[in-house]
Structure 1
Amino acid sequence: MSKIYTVLGLMSGTSLDGVDAAIIETDGETIHTFGPALTCAYTASQRSVLDRATQAALTWNFDGPPPNIFAEAEDALDAAHRSATAALDIDGVDVIGYHGQTLLHRPDRYRTLQLGRGQSLATAFACPCIYDFRSADVAAGGQGAPLAPIYHKALVDHAGLSSVTAVLNLGGVGNVTLIDGDRLLASDTGPANGPLDSWLGGVDDSGTISREGVPDLARVETWLKANFFERAWPKSADRYDFDVLADMAGMNRTDGAATLAAFTALSVRKTVRQMQVRPDRVIVCGGGRHNRTIMTLLSLELGCPVLPAERFGWDSDAIEAQAFAYLAVRVLRGLPNSFPTTTGVPEPTVGGVIAYPQ
């Protein structure tokens, strides 16, 4: 038997709401047990510097020297992750998987940027820390995302689910994994909560605002002709690839929310149809699962049961952090975490940098 590791995963998404931390026990192939998890919100100052760094990154776009604010943002990010880690009882943790904060993702230029100094956490907590999971895949010609599919398969196997299962994550950007026995397919799908949150200046947590409006489906169909949706899968996206708010002048609050909810659901349908595998069920994780309007639209558009991850005993808020815990063990064991059918990388790729305590 392979060694079972106790491992901490850390994830911070493009919504800039905070750090998710979760502990699992795994050998990097199967899930042994789920441990505790928590979310540690960014302070106002941490969120501010990360937001300013993100905007600076969009302007920089990998041209010339990196903006000075990146160093300040990385200091804030590492501090937030140390706080989240310290809030859990990590006695006995063998390794940490540290995703970091994505500021800019441009696989078309073979570049991606996730802030986060793995060495900082390795030294602070006296155990190896795996970080920078995406760069090797992008450098090899892959999309660098999504990386969670191999963990989604482990979750489906752990739950004993048969038939074709889709795991759909609705964060700032959507991504889907299709699991058909040993066949694993994945792709980003397009916008999820990002444009809707930006439109509302907050979250439509239960979908109430979206449900009150009338969607402009003609406008959505125009958006669905964008280059991203015409590209073959697997494909990846940056949250700001779907900055459609400038095209919504004159719309009221509720109609705009309804239109963006429809954009999310129809983009998922379009990507799943591209993949040419019809799921028997869709399990939804990420913040979008709370939006009942999006969940209803997905069920109508996909023609199968669409269920929140909690229905299967999964902690949806912890899944991405758990995924990077799982991927960290795979890196230690030299097992690939991205594949031709998940990121488009030519060969299965391990990815990830190992930092040891100093």
Structure 2
Amino acid sequence: MSIKYMPKRIKVIGLMSGTSLDGVDAAIIETDGERILSFGPARTLEYSDAERTVLSESMAAAVNWNFTGPPPNIFSRAEALIDATHRRAVAGLMEASGLGKDDIDLVGYHGQTVLHRGATPKRKGESLQIGSGEGLAAATGLPVVFDFRSADVAAGGQGAPLAPIYHKALCDYSGLTGRIAVVNIGGVSNVTLINGDAPLIAGDCGPGNGPLDSWVKAKSGKDYDAGGALSLSGKVDFDLIACWLTAPFFMRPLPRSADRYEFDVLGDLAGISTEDGAATLAGFTAQAIARDMANFDPQTVIICGGGRHNRAIIYMLQSHCGGNVVSADTLGWDGDALEAQAFAYMAARTLCGLPLSFPGTTGTPEPMGGGVLASPK
């Protein structure tokens, strides 16, 4: 990578819109591209129902498109929405924090994933994030790093997950030692396995909140299972989960990656009560995560992402894991802002010419840089 700046203390805004489609997370950190030096403020700009509908429809259209032929027309509408909401998120965070343009050195803009196909032994991966880094740079007057996944995918990597290097930096910042598993439960779940200076191991585990959110929406009209209340009141169908876990995705070792809609199992729940379906989907998430941690035998399991609020998933993970299962928030980490912080950190690493992904995290043949720098006009 040609971008190489001497590391220094820089203040970076990170932006993340996950496949759960709850909103845009914006967070500020100070870093030199290697160490976390301090945490700044964070906030979430929630999507309206109308905005969420557009994004949901674009993701559904992407599944049918599947990287074949002209992109669906709705992508341009969705990208305009993504760019506009992220501009508002940056402006809102800066205004709420009393910061001006001169106080921020860089922005990390992930954009919105509309479709991700992880690499397999038989095919190369493909991943599409919508959102214009150049447009955000022009609108904010700030340099923006975007397109974090393309270089990894082009080199034969999975393109995901990218947060493991930030998870390691967080553990170093907090002085954590031993065998640590950092689990992010968003639309998809992923895990980072950390053991001192040993090479990082990571990958997507399987479903996160995605199938459960879709089930709850279809059955109750609500966006998600708040606190895991529905899941806790139902009965888990373990035979059904065992069947789901025989899918080809689960036969592949880490590192591997998935799209939210890769675990479309709702058709198998016909005739099952809302509560039992929710419990079974929560159990599916927990078991998929637990099986990827089994051989590592973590001493500490740290849960981040929206799924950490689902008590059913957490209780099930505790029953499957011998280690201590804790929420990221108990360590002083901001569990809601962590993904946005991660892309702030990775933007700084891009500026410094440092790698974002590794053979054990995405399957690239060697440590890989990534990201594209857009300068304000």
Q: Which TM-score band applies after superposition, normalised by the shorter structure? A: over 0.9
1:96 is matched by which residue type in structure 2?
Answer: V
SS in 2 for 1:314: coil
Alignment of 1:72-91 (within 5 A): 72-89=77-94, 90-91=99-100
Match of 1:140 among 142, 151, 155: 155
Partner of 2:72: 67
Partner of 2:183: 168
Contact 2:127–2:150 (CA under 8 A) maintained in structure 1: yes
Equivalents in 2 of 1:343, 1:18: separation in Å?
Answer: 26
Partner of 1:283: 302
Equivalents in 1 of 2:326, 2:58: separation in Å?
Answer: 36
SS in 1 for 2:213: helix
1:303 is aligned to 2:322: yes
Match of 2:169 among 112, 131, 154: 154
2:302 is matched by which residue type in structure 1?
Answer: I
1:198 is matched by which residue type in structure 2?
Answer: S
Percent identity over paired residues: 58
Equivalents in 1 of 2:264, 2:202: separation in Å?
Answer: 23
SS in 2 for 1:88: helix
Q: CA deviation at 1:153?
A: 0.4
1:151 is matched by which residue type in structure 2?
Answer: Y
Partner of 2:220: none
Q: Tell me, which stretches of 5 or more residues in structure 1 are unaligned?
A: none
2:188 is matched by which residue type in structure 1?
Answer: V
Partner of 1:95: 106
Alignment of 1:1-358 (within 5 A): 2-89=7-94, 90-91=99-100, 92-108=103-119, 109-183=124-198, 184-201=200-217, 202-273=223-294, 276-358=295-377
Contact 1:284–1:308 (CA under 8 A) maintained in structure 2: yes
Q: C-alpha deviations, 1:44-78, integer Å up to 9, x for none?
A: 33222212211111111010111121111111110
Contact 1:229–1:271 (CA under 8 A) maintained in structure 2: no
1:281 is matched by which residue type in structure 2?
Answer: T
Contact 1:146–1:342 (CA under 8 A) maintained in structure 2: yes
Equivalents in 1 of 2:118, 2:257: separation in Å?
Answer: 8
Which stretch shifts more, 78-87 or 197-206?
Answer: 197-206
Q: CA deviation at 1:167?
A: 0.6
Question: Aligned Cα RMSD in Å?
Answer: 1.1
Equivalents in 2 of 1:45, 1:251: separation in Å?
Answer: 30
1:185 is matched by which residue type in structure 2?
Answer: I
Q: Tell me, which stretches of 5 or more residues in structure 2 are unaligned?
A: 1-5, 218-222
1:334 is matched by which residue type in structure 2?
Answer: G
Q: TM-score, normalised by structure 1?
A: 0.98
1:50 is matched by which residue type in structure 2?
Answer: L
2:288 is matched by which residue type in structure 1?
Answer: S
Q: TM-score, normalised by structure 2?
A: 0.93
SS in 2 for 1:98: strand
